[in-house]
Structure 1
Amino acid sequence: MECVFGLVGEGFAIVAADTSAVHSILLHKNNEDKIMLLDSHKLVAASGEPGDRVQFTEYVQKNVSLYKFRNGIPLTTAAAANFTRGELATALRKNPYSVNILMAGYDNESGASLYYIDYIATLHKVDKGAFGYGSYFSLSTMDRHYRPDMSVEEAIELVDKCILEIRSRLVVAPPNFVIKIVDKDGARDYAWRQSVQDVTTAAV
C-alpha cells in the first residue's frame, strides 16, 4: 500500500511518501525514509520493491555526485531525470528495476520542477504526480485543489488533505508520512505526519 506523491508550487516543489516497510502481510518498520536527497537541490521519492528502490536510488545519487566531481558543475534537474530515465531504459532490456520515481528539484534558471519516471522508463515533467495505491486518492484531491501559484502553506495544506484522504479510504492505509521540500534554499525535511491528529491539527 505504498503512497508517494508530489507537486510544484510558486518557487518550490514538495514530495511526500509513506514510511512503511512491508512484506506481504507483515510490517517490518514504520519509519522508512523513501525520499532520498540526491544533492543540495534535488529530491528523489521512490516506490517499488524495497531492494530495487534502495539500490537504484543510491546508484543514481552516486552517479550524480560523480558527474559534479568530474565536471565541477552539478546536473540540472532535467539532466538528472533524463539520466535516471536512461538507466531504467537500459536495465529494462537486461534486468529491470521495479521502481517508480518522482524527482523534484530547483534550478536557478528554470526554478522548481517535478519529473515523473516509472519502472518502464516513461519520463514526464509534471505539476503534480503520484505512485502507489494512494495515487487514486491523492491525484483526484490534487486535481480538485491544485493551483500552480500555491504558496508553501497552501501546498502543505493540500498534502495534508491527500494524507487524510488516503488514510480514510485505503483498506490498509500507512499511518506515517514524511514530507520534504526543495526551493532556492535547498532540499530539506519539512515535516513528519505520524497520526490523523497531526494532520488534523496542521490543517486547522
Structure 2
Amino acid sequence: MECVFGLVGNDFAIVAADTSAVHSILVHKSNEDKIMILDSHKLIAASGESGDRVQFTEYIQKNVALYQFRNGIPLTTAAAANFTRGELATALRKSLSYLFFLVSTIVNNDIWFFQNPYFVNILLAGYDKETGPSLFYIDYIATLHKVDKGAFGYGSYFSLAMMDRHYHSGMTVEEAIDLVDKCIMEIRSRLVVAPPNFVIKIVDKDGAREYAWRESVKDAAVPLA
C-alpha cells in the first residue's frame, strides 16, 4: 500500500512518501525513509520492491556523485532523470535478451549478461539555478515525463485527485504543505490499509532537506482502569 507523491511550487519542489516497509501481510517497520537525497539539490523518491528500491536508488546516487567527482560539475535535474531512465531501460532490455541466452550460447558460444529489470517507480525532484525547480516521473518500464505533480502507489488514486482539485502553479510553501496534508488525510480516510507515517522533503535554492514527518493514524489513548 505504498504512497509516493510530489508537486512543484513557486521556486521549490516537494515530495512525500509513506514510511512503511511491508511484505505480504506483515509490516516490518514504519520509519523507512523512501526519499533519498541524491545530491545537494536533488531528491529521489521511490516505490516498488524493497530490494530493487534500495539497490537502484543507491546505485543512481553513487553514479551521480561519481559524475560530479570526475567532471567537477553536478548533473542537472533533467540530466539525472535521463540517466535514471536510461539505467531502467538498459536493465529492462537485458532481461529480455535472456530469452535468447540458451540459443546464443549453443550456436555461437557467446556469453550474455543477464540482469533482472528493476521493479521501481521514481519521482525525481530538483532545483537548478538556470531553470528552477522541476519534477520528473519515471516508472518501472522507463517512461520519463516532466510533470508539475505526480504520484505512485495505491495512494496515487487519492493524492492525484486531491492535487487535480487544489493544485495551481506558483504555490507557496505553506499552500503546498497544506495540499500535502490534504492528500495524506484523504489516503488515511479512503485507503483500506493506510500507512501510518509519512515523510516530507523539499528542495529549493537552499538545497534538498527533510521538511517534516506526519502521522496519518495516531495511537489511541489507553483508558485508565
- TM class, shorter-chain normalised? over 0.9
Match of 1:163 in 2: 184
Tell me, yes or no, if structure 1 residue 176 matches structure 2 residue 197.
yes
Q: Where do 1:1-204 residues align within 5 Å?
A: 1-94=1-94, 95-196=116-217
- 1:194, distance to aligned residue in structure 2 (A): 1.8
Matches of 1:62 and 1:35, distance apart in 2 = 15
| AA of the residue aligned to 1:158 | L
Matches of 1:18 and 1:183, distance apart in 2 = 22
Q: Would the aligned equivalents of 1:134 and 1:170 in 2 still touch at CA under 8 Å?
A: yes
- 1:195, distance to aligned residue in structure 2 (A): 3.8
Matches of 1:195 and 1:107, distance apart in 2 = 32
Match of 1:200 in 2: none
- 1:93, distance to aligned residue in structure 2 (A): 1.3
| AA of the residue aligned to 2:138 | I
Matches of 2:176 and 2:26, distance apart in 1 = 33
Matches of 1:38 and 1:65, distance apart in 2 = 8
**Pairwise CA RMSD:** 0.7
Matches of 2:158 and 2:92, distance apart in 1 = 29
Matches of 2:83 and 2:186, distance apart in 1 = 34
Give the number of equivalent residue pairs: 197
Extract unaligned runs of 5+ from structure 2. 95-115, 219-225
- 1:78, distance to aligned residue in structure 2 (A): 0.1
What is the SS of the residue equivalent to 2:75?
Answer: coil
Matches of 1:159 and 1:171, distance apart in 2 = 19
| AA of the residue aligned to 2:3 | C
| AA of the residue aligned to 1:161 | K
- 1:83, distance to aligned residue in structure 2 (A): 0.1
Matches of 1:88 and 1:21, distance apart in 2 = 23
Q: Would the aligned equivalents of 2:9 and 2:170 in 1 still touch at CA under 8 Å?
A: yes
- 1:69, distance to aligned residue in structure 2 (A): 0.2
- TM-score, with length taken from structure 1: 0.96
Matches of 2:154 and 2:137, distance apart in 1 = 16
What is the SS of the residue equivalent to 1:67?
Answer: helix
- 1:116, distance to aligned residue in structure 2 (A): 0.1
For residues 106-143 of structure 1, the C-alpha deviation after alignment (integer angstroms, 9 at most, x for no partner) is 00000000000000000000000000000000000000
Question: Structure 1: which 4+ aligned runs deviate by more than 6 Å?
Answer: none
Matches of 2:180 and 2:216, distance apart in 1 = 14
Rg larger in structure: 2
Matches of 1:146 and 1:70, distance apart in 2 = 40
What is the SS of the residue equivalent to 2:69?
Answer: helix
Extract unaligned runs of 5+ from structure 1. 198-204
